[in-house]
Amino acid sequence: MPLEPFRPLPPHRVGRRSLLRGAGLGALALGAPSLLASCGTESQVQTTESCTSTDLSDTEKMLVFSNWPEYIDVKGKKMPTLDAFEAESGISVTYNTDINDNNEFFGKVKDQLGSCEPIGRDIVTMTDWMAARMISLGWMQELDKDAMPNVAANLKSDLRSPTWDPDRSYSVPWQSGLTGIAYNAKYTGEVGSFEELMTRSDLKGKVSLLSEMGDTMLFMLLLEGADPEEFSQDQWGSALERLEGYVKSGQVRRFTGNDYIRDLNAGNVVACEAWSGDVIAMQYDNPDIKWVVPEEGLSLWSDNMMVPNRADHRANAQALMDHYYQPEVAATLAAWVNYICPVDGAQEAMESIDPSLVDNELIFPSEEFLSGAYGFMELDEKTRQQYDKDFARVIGA
C-alpha cells in the first residue's frame, strides 16, 4: 500500500541521493567514463604490510571529511552538529562536499590509493557496494572500535554485520535509505509491485528505472525468485535477460538518475523506481506523488564513513564518527537530511527535536517495515566490472 506523505524537505533542498543519481546518469550518458575509469585495479591491491599509515592526531588536531552535498544539518552558514564537535573536541574539521558519484570519486582516487599514496582526506563516505570494493582492495585503514564507545553501543543491530565488513572493522554508517516504487496518482492507480510496473499494459512506455546497476538489478533478481544478497551466475544471466526483455518490449521509457522527478511530476512517467528521500521532497509540492513498498521487497543501502590508507588523523576521524552516534546528535542530523538514522536512541531523542518525525518510517523504520529489505551481493573486482558492463549494454549506456 502507498504510504501517506511524510514531513517534506524544504523546497530549496536537493537530497544527497538526488545529486548522486543525477551525476551517475550524466556519466552513463557520456558513455560511462566513470565506469571505465574504475577498471584495471586488480594490480593495485594493498595490504597492511604493503601500505602502512601513521597517526598524527595527538599533535595535529584536525581532519578532512569528504561527504556528499546536502548531507549534513545546516543553519545559515553554520553546521550545528559539526560545530559542536569542533567545540567539544578541539579538532578542526575541513568539511568537503566533493563526492557526487561513487564511480566518479573512485576514478579520482584509485591511482593514489592503489599506489599507497595519500589522498588528502581522513574520512570518505561511500555507498555499500563501493565501500565493499575499496575495503577488498585493501585501501582503507582498520578502525579502533574501542575508541568509539557510542558506535559500539548505539549502532543499530541490522547494520552491524554487512557481508562486506562483517565486524564493521573498516566502516561506520552515516545514513541509510530505501529504493522502492513511486507513482503519480493523478495519472494512474496504485502500482503495488515490480511485477505490475514491468507488465501492466496501461503503463507501457510510461515507466522509468534507475541507472545504477545495484538498484535495478536487485529487483530483476527478486522477480527471478533469486536472493539479491546471494545469487548465482546463471541467476544473474536470467535477471539480465528479463531486464533486456522489458527494454525491448517498450515497457521502460528510459533509465534515469533523479531526473525521474521531473517526468513523474509532469506525467511523462506515471510510475517508476525511486529513492525514499526524493519522494519525501516531491511530496512537498505534489501530494499526488505516492511511495510504495513493493510486494517483492525493498532495496536498502547505506553510506559509510571510512578512513583511507595514508590518512594521518585516524584517531580524530574516529572521534568524529563517535560524536555522530550520540542519539541527540544523530536525531538533529536526521531531522535535516530525512534519511534512515542508523543510531539507536535517536528516535526517542527526536521527541524533543521534531516530534512530527518520530513515527516517520522512512527515518525510523520498524523491524517489520524492513523485514523485506535487501542489499546487493558483495562482488569481487572482476565480477563487478563485468556486471557493470553487462548492465550498461542492456540499458544502452
Least confident of 83-92, 204-213, 246-255: 204-213
Mean pLDDT in the chain?
A: 88
- Residue 303's alpha-carbon distances to 196, 246, 323, 335, 389, in angstroms, are 30, 30, 17, 17, 24
Rounded mean pLDDT of 61-69?
A: 95
Closest CA to 98 of 123, 74, 135: 123
pLDDT at 40 over 60: no
Give me the pLDDT at residue 249, please: 97
Please state the φ and ψ torsions of residue 172, each to the nearest 5 degrees.
Answer: -135, 125
Give me the pLDDT at residue 36, please: 42
Give the tens place of pLDDT for each residue, 324-374.
999 999 999 999 888 899 999 999 999 999 999 999 888 999 988 888 899
Rounded mean pLDDT of 273-288?
A: 84
Cα separation, 8 vs 21, whole angstroms: 20
Residue 234: strand, helix, or coil? helix
Rounded mean pLDDT of 275-301?
A: 88
Residues 6+ apart with CB under 8 A from 112: 118, 119
Give me the pLDDT at residue 12, please: 34
pLDDT at 200 over 90: yes
Give me the pLDDT at residue 39, please: 52
Give me the pLDDT at residue 258, please: 67
Give me the pLDDT at residue 100, please: 78
Query: What band does 41 get if pLDDT is binned at 50, 70 and 90?
Result: low
- Which position has the higher pLDDT, 29 or 233? 233
pLDDT at 264 over 70: yes
Cβ–Cβ under 8 Å, residues 220 and 240: yes
Rounded mean pLDDT of 74-90?
A: 96
Cα separation, 344 vs 378, whole angstroms: 26
Residue with cell 553510506: 303
**H-run or E-run covering 331:** helix 327-337
Q: What single-letter amino acid sits at 273?
A: E
Task: Indicate the pTM of the whole model.
Answer: 0.78
Rounded mean pLDDT of 393-397?
A: 89
- Which position has the higher pLDDT, 33 or 195? 195
Give me the pLDDT at residue 163, please: 84
Ordered by where they begin, the domains of the chain are 62-176+302-363 (3.40.190.10), 177-300+378-395 (3.40.190.10)
Closest CA to 243 of 277, 216, 274: 216
How many CB atoms are located within 10 Å of the residue 157 CB?
Answer: 8
Rounded mean pLDDT of 317-327?
A: 98
Give me the pLDDT at residue 371, please: 84
pLDDT at 42 over 90: no
- Which position has the higher pLDDT, 129 or 225? 225
Cβ–Cβ under 8 Å, residues 134 and 309: no
Least confident of 16-20, 70-74, 265-269: 16-20
